[in-house]
Structure 1
């Protein structure tokens, strides 16, 4: 289990990757995907964050899987089956700036998926991304500026599932 303390704009947050975890729906704050085509990783250039993985917040009444499908389509213009890898626990216990009026739980979760891209749609850049790019996975830190050992653990889990069928369902060995 990989864990790191990070500073998000003055917010001290403990991030921990937990394999095979599906938390209660009300604790899930967002979903994200490491999208692969053959052996290459897809990155999207987001307007406000730079190079990142497709993903985002779950809308009211939306399942995690539907959110993932929507966000990947909106940001990367790709489709494919996905597989839940686990969740990154986002723990604000040591965050001096966290307060009870936060829209996020004090301990929340970001679901992490692996998607196998089966369809590339024309890139239109209509939402929050300006471009998409396929890279070798070992180049990810050259693009994603906040790369750390928790994301590395997610990447290793995604690679571990390279030969397994993605089903767009919850985790199963």
Structure 2
């Protein structure tokens, strides 16, 4: 299933398309990883400085697989560890964005990969990185708490279903 929306990011409009496809895009096109982390039926949300509450996630660093990046980001922002499954991705297209910089840090077409984590370990929360706090929300309450585009809810819906691939 796929769904497309247009959103304002910075000074330009981009087209976002959700896909619950099991196949990952080429690694060089994956710009970030994000995910829904579950503990006792609730979802972890982190307050990212300057952006508000959202699912944990961030950029893939050199030499990391998307799964490794997600484990690192969740540990840095939410201070949790667990098993993950791929749930889908958002294709980010700048094709109709007049503000797109072809020499910038993002590709014309990139992907944000989403995971589900079943939390196995919660560590004491630290404010060492960009998150200032973590909260636990009922999945039905997430739309009223997060500060993000509506396709983030598609990721949540797929995560609630359990994910696409075997546990990583």
Closer, same or farther: CA 111–165 of 1 in aligned 2, 3 Å? closer
Deviation per CA, 1:92-133: give whole Å up to 9, x if none: 011010021111110000000000111100001111111100
Q: Whole-Å Cα distance in 1 between the matches of residues 99 and 10 of structure 2?
A: 10
Give the TM-score normalised by the residue count of structure 1.
0.91
Please list every run of 5 or more consecutive structure 2 residues that lacks an aligned counterpart in the other structure.
none
Match of 1:37 in 2: 39
SS at 2:91 equivalent? strand
Please identify runs of 4+ aligned residues in structure 1 that moved more than 3 A. none
Is this contact kept in 1: 2:86–2:165, CA < 8 A? no
Give the TM-score normalised by the residue count of structure 2.
0.93
Please list every run of 5 or more consecutive structure 1 residues that lacks an aligned counterpart in the other structure.
169-173
SS at 1:81 equivalent? strand
Match of 1:122 in 2: 124
> Cα RMSD between the aligned structures?
1.5
Matched, 1:6 2:7: yes
Higher strand share: 2
Aligned length: 166
Deviation per CA, 1:19-58: give whole Å up to 9, x if none: 1230001000000011111210100011121111110101
Closer, same or farther: CA 49–89 of 1 in aligned 2, 3 Å? same
